[in-house]
């Protein structure tokens, strides 16, 4: 997991004076935790990495795979091998498939379906955004706002309502995600598709 924003961007958003570093450790810790939260919520990794992925070949697959991570940057190799040796004989030529990078979809163009089997398809690929600066702005902003939201909520009792007769109090959900942030993150949440 990599951070989805920087200390400098959060400090700028908070309008923190240049010499004031008293909350930098807290901000860095929250950046790391909120970045992890976002990746778990979206069920994907955003910063670029290399993946080796094994998939089951399904019946009537139409020669289409949905890779776990995206956007796809580069496909290193694709093997379809029911013996799971993944040798040169099972390597699919790069001219025989195309990708829809933004969606993590790989499609065969040679009119051949992937074989049916268990972990018979092996794909080695690079996916994700190159660095924090390459992330979509609204995703970065969602991370910044989650960090500042947690900072602002620290130490508060989250009292929602109070009754004086019969003594009672209702507390709000302190860890609730603001609706505006949730709306942004839902756009980046990995969807599962049975049919593409």
Task: Look up tokens 């990794």; give the residue.
Answer: 45
Q: pLDDT tens across 19-73, in order?
A: 999 999 999 999 999 999 999 999 999 999 999 999 999 988 899 999 999 999 9
Confidence of residue 196 (pLDDT cuts 50, 70, 90): very low
Q: pLDDT tens across 120-171, in order?
A: 999 999 999 999 999 999 999 999 999 999 998 876 654 555 555 555 444 4
Cα angle, residue 179 at apex, residues 104 and 6 outer, rounded to 5°: 65
Strand pairing of 105-108 and 72-80?
unpaired
The mean pLDDT of 91-100, rounded to a whole number, is 97
Q: Where do the structural domains in the chain lie, given as residue ranges?
A: 7-45+132-180, 49-127
Burial class (CB in 10 A: 0-12, 13-18, 19+), 127: buried
**Residue 170: what pLDDT?**
47
Report in angstroms the alpha-carbon separations of 29 from 4, 10, 77. 12, 12, 37
**Residue 190: what pLDDT?**
87
Distance, in Å, from the CA atom of 66 to the CA atom of 196, rounded to the nearest integer, reads 8
């Amino acid at each position: 997991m990599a951070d989805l924003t920087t200390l400098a961007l959060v400090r700028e958003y908070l309008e923190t004076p240049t010499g004031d570093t008293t909350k930098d450790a807290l901000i860095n810790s929250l950046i790391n935790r909120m970045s992890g939260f976002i990746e778990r919520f979206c069920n994907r990794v955003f910063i670029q990495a290399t993946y080796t992925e094994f998939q089951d070949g399904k019946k009537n697959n139409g020669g289409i795979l949905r890779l776990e991570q995206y956007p796809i940057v580069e496909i290193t190799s694709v093997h379809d091998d029911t013996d799971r040796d993944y040798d040169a004989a099972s390597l699919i030529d790069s001219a025989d498939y195309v990708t829809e990078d933004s969606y993590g979809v790989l499609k065969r163009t040679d009119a051949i379906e992937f074989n049916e089997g268990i972990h018979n398809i092996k794909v080695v690929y690079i996916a994700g955004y190159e660095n924090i600066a390459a992330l979509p702005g609204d995703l970065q902003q969602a991370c910044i706002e989650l960090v500042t939201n947690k900072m602002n909520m620290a130490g508060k009792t989250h009292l929602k309502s109070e009754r004086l007769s019969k003594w009672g109090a209702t507390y709000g959900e302190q860890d609730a995600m603001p609706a505006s942030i949730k709306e942004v993150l839902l756009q980046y949440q990995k969807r599962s598709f049975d049919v593409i």
